[in-house]
Amino acid sequence: MLEIAREYWLQILIGNFPHGPLGGVALTLVIAVAGLLLAFPTGLVLALGLTSPWRSVSRVTTGFVFYMRSVPLLMHLLWIHYLVLPLLVGHGLSGLTSVLVTLIIFNGAYLSQSIRAGMLALPKGQYEAARAMGFGHLVSIRHVVGPQALRNVTPSIVGQLVILIKETSLGSLIGLAETTQQFLDLNDRLGNKSLEVFTLLALTFFVMCYPLTLAGRWLERRYARPHKPAAAPAPKPALMTVLQKEKA
């Protein structure tokens, strides 16, 4: 197993990079980070839809999120790769685009539910007070409910990154040259070394994800404790700054 690692470490890390597209661990990490960064705004928009005072908007969003969560990621990937994207742009796109788009929408739907939960966990008075002060729905969310709700969600972001790294492995279904695909190629090339190859694959993912898992736990512990007492005075400055802005 060590020999395989010593021999092929460059291919595992970056694929055929200088001579071809980026692959391997680097591609996995790039897709996971980019996916998370773009899934977050998607989740915010969907969370706004879920909590919208307009019945029709909240119903449609709820249905969409339920659909995303009820169907496996693989199925979404196939729909998007073979139907949705080709219909939208007129021709088939690379596996990279399909995987990225799928991960963004899929994780956006999951994030939207935790953001919504963070919003609902706040005392109702926060929103009502903001409305009573004369702020509109969106302004109240933007300046009063949102900042507090996002604080609750922040520590789970690292955990979400781990999930994305793991989900990227599905890209090998449509030929994306990410980590799993590199090891599948390696397995074909080396013939009868499957046990070593796939043990090394599992270890590669462990090395990527375990430090992040530990970091996520540390963040959660750090954020969880001081949060409760801090929650009560927090809205005050937010409201005050908004008021001062309105005056100016």
Binding site for another protein (CB under 8 A): 66-67, 69-75, 78-79, 82-83, 87, 162, 165-167, 169-170, 172-173, 180, 183-184, 187, 192, 194-199, 201-202, 205-206, 208-210, 213
CA angle 191, 174, 32 (to 5 degrees): 100
Taking the complex as a whole, the smallest distance from the CB of residue 158 to another protein amounts, in Å, to: 13
Taking the complex as a whole, the smallest distance from the CB of residue 84 to another protein amounts, in Å, to: 10
Taking the complex as a whole, the smallest distance from the CB of residue 102 to another protein amounts, in Å, to: 13
Taking the complex as a whole, the smallest distance from the CB of residue 89 to another protein amounts, in Å, to: 14
The residues, any chain, with a CB within 8 Å of residue 201's CB and separated by 6 or more, are 179, 180, 183
Judged by beta carbon, residue 135 or residue 205, the one nearer another protein is 205
Taking the complex as a whole, the smallest distance from the CB of residue 47 to another protein amounts, in Å, to: 20
- Residue 105, sorted as left (phi over 0), alpha (psi -120 to 50) or beta, turns out to be alpha
Judged by beta carbon, residue 77 or residue 141, the one nearer another protein is 77
Judged by beta carbon, residue 111 or residue 145, the one nearer another protein is 111
Judged by beta carbon, residue 12 or residue 201, the one nearer another protein is 201
Judged by beta carbon, residue 212 or residue 234, the one nearer another protein is 212
DSSP per-residue codes, 101-112: HHHHHHHHHHHH
Rounded Cα gap, residues 185 and 111, in angstroms: 34
Exposure string for 161-183, b = 16+ CB within 10 A, e = fewer: bbbbbebbbbbbbbebbbbbbbb
